[in-house]
Amino acid sequence: MDAAKAADQKAGADKLAEEKKTAIDQINNLKNLNQDQKKDYINQVNNAKTADEITKIVDAAKAADQKAGADKLAEEKKTAIDQINKDKTLNENQKHDFINQIKNAETSSDLGKIMQQTNLPQTDVKNQLTIGALISIVLGSIFSLSYVLEKKRK
């Protein structure tokens, strides 16, 4: 009887150890918690005595991760909207459109794509100015060359 009981205890301990390892992997894979937060949840998992405790700890870590992600996205949206409002190259309609897109963004990646689009009008203006400057330089060079050639002919 004692051997069977010992075997059951060992199997239970092995199962709990495996559940702890899985839980720690899940916590380490969370994207929005910092290392101190992850370490705290991992310590709780290591001290857990039952599978139910481990599940509750992992659920709490996932909830904290989701909240941290939402908070981070909200802060990124606020910063992006501030940048749009300060941008002198966008007209009011463009600003309004970009701000609405920012408010509807669901991920940081979406937000990044929107912010890249806000640079397109500026880039177009800069490119037009650059092209205009190049045309002026080329035309100036052509006129100068024409003048020099005309002088040589005389």
In a domain, 107, yes or no: no
The length of the chain is 154
Report the distance separating Cα 98 and Cα 139, nearest Å: 39
Q: Kindly state whether residue 25 falls inside one of the protein's structural domains.
A: yes
pLDDT at 111: 87
Is residue 18 one of the residues assigned to a domain?
Answer: yes
For residues 94-127, one letter each, b for 16 or more C-beta atoms within 10 angstroms of the residue's C-beta and e for the rest, the string is ebebbbebbeebeeeeebeebbeebeeeeeeeee
User: Which pLDDT score, from 0 to 100, does residue 89 have?
Assistant: 84
Most confident of 2-6, 60-64, 76-80: 60-64
Q: Give the CATH number of the domain where residue 66 resides.
A: 1.20.5.420
Q: What is the pLDDT of residue 1?
A: 56
The domain in which residue 20 lies consists of 2-86
Assess if residue 127 is contained within a domain: no
Residue 129 belongs to some domain of the structure:
no
6, pLDDT greater than 80 = no
Q: For the ranges 15-29, 57-71, 94-108, 122-136, which has the lowest average pLDDT?
A: 122-136
pLDDT in tens, 64-84: 999 999 999 999 999 999 999
pLDDT of amino acid 143: 66
pLDDT, mean over the chain: 84
Would residue 39 count as lying in a domain?
yes
Note if the pTM is more than 0.75. Answer: no
Rounded average pLDDT over 38-60: 97
Q: Quote the pLDDT of residue 129.
A: 55
Q: What's the domain count of the chain?
A: 1
Between 31 and 8, the more confident residue is: 31
Helix axes 108-153, 51-86, angle to 10 degrees: 30
Residue 111 lies in a domain: no
The model's confidence at residue 133, banded by pLDDT at 50, 70 and 90, is low
Establish if 124 belongs to a structural domain. no
